[in-house]
Amino acid sequence: MEIKILGIGMTKFGELWSKSLVDLAEEAAVKAIKDAHLQLASLDAIFVGNMLSGAVTGQEHLGALIAERLNLKIPAMRIEGACASGAMAVYQGIQGIASGRFNRVLIIGVEKMTDLSSAEVNKALMGASAEDEEGVNGLTFASLYALMAKAYLEKYGLKEKDLAEVAVKNHYHASLNPLAQFPFKVTLKQVLESPMVADPLKILDCSPITDGAAALVLSRRQLTVDGGQIPVSIIGSSLVSDTLSLSARKDITEQWATKKAIQEALQMAGIKLEEIDLAEVHDCFTIAEIISLESLGFFKKGTAAKATAKGETRFDGSLPVNTSGGLKACGHPVGATGVKQIIELVLQLRGQAGKRQVKKAKIGLAQNLGGSGSTAVVHILKGENHA
């Protein structure tokens, strides 16, 4: 399977109070169409990744609304899968092309989160948990991931500073990304002394509440358009589900869905894990990046944090991870995150990532999670210059 990514577009991530959810979606979509050197009329369908539009803005039926804004009358649908909504929209777009139904589709991931208070947004986000077991007992996603963090630190004999290394690294990457919500560096001391949210996770261990949108144009075949970008291909795509409730899992220090998804994606791509040059992984909390990297198979259990501290996951390290700044520092508009991850990989594989460019990047991986790891979506991308 090879699905071409012809165009990419992304808004600034942050607190964008002057723009509506549809404004953001339109901005990213227009940028992606322009990047592909296409016209809107050449699209066959629109897939919108979004989780919270109803809860936060009162607006449902996003597919039709965004199609209207773009002045298109084509199949348009919203895909919801919690924080994996963006990657699920990409997955669905790929299925639509692979089935033969569509030739060219627009993927938009979008979220408008900052119009409500933090408490209201956190309550809405808990819709991605097991409400009758977790939400009803007052748990938040910070506390769910804190349970994972406590179990992990105890199991592998690590300290809170080992988690903090992830935040330091991702903020460093974000300082090189002009579209990031927090484009500045932080020190280990700042992370460790930041206010506690859910022991052992501090505020600088947590991704922020964010507005933003990201868009892709996917195609069955490569276009030969003068001035157009050299396409990047999606060569592997997998979506796997695990239990929704954390208590139903055998081991909360690993992600079964991620382990299964990477196996399927690698098999589809026809490559080995060792061939992957960089990765964008789901770091909604610092512990999530560590567990994700180990569940993907990049590091042995209990070692990803130490590898991070050694600089192995920096953009100039042996396995660059979250060169965009990740969810932690680039921002986490939940419906847009999975699409943004792929955009970062495209920039890297095109050689357009600027100061954070990974040398000789040819194959990249994106891993997007829904809930506490109950949904995992993995995509593998290949640059056209890869032999």
Q: What domains can you pick out in the chain, each with its CATH number?
A: 3-117+209-219 (3.40.47.10), 139-207+231-383 (3.40.47.10)
pLDDT score recorded for residue 387? 43
Q: pTM, whole model, 2 decimals?
A: 0.96
State the Cα–Cα distance between residues 379 and 144, nearest whole angstrom: 26
The pLDDT confidence band at residue 126, using thresholds 50, 70 and 90, is: confident
Q: Which of the four pLDDT bands, split at 50, 70 and 90, describes residue 334?
A: very high
The 3-state DSSP class for residue 232 equals strand
H or E element that contains 161: helix 160-174
Task: Specify whether the CB–CB gap between 176 and 354 falls below 8 A.
Answer: yes
Model confidence at 60, pLDDT cuts 50, 70, 90, reads very high
Q: What is the biggest distance separating any 2 CA atoms in the chain, rounded to whole angstroms? A: 58
Question: Averaged over 67-86, what is the pLDDT?
Answer: 97
pLDDT of residue 385: 64
For this structure, is 332 an active site residue?
Answer: yes
Say which range, 115-119, 296-300, 305-309, has the weakest mean pLDDT: 115-119
Residue 229 pLDDT class (50, 70, 90 cuts): low
Q: What CA–CA distances, in Å, run from 317 to 169, 269, 346, 367, 382?
A: 11, 24, 19, 19, 20
Residue tagged active-site, from 171, 173, 282, 332: 332
Among 37, 83, 379, 386, the one annotated catalytic: 83
Query: Does the structure show a pLDDT above 80 at 35?
Result: yes
Q: Is 386 part of the annotated catalytic residue set? A: no
Helix (H) or strand (E) holding 64: helix 62-69
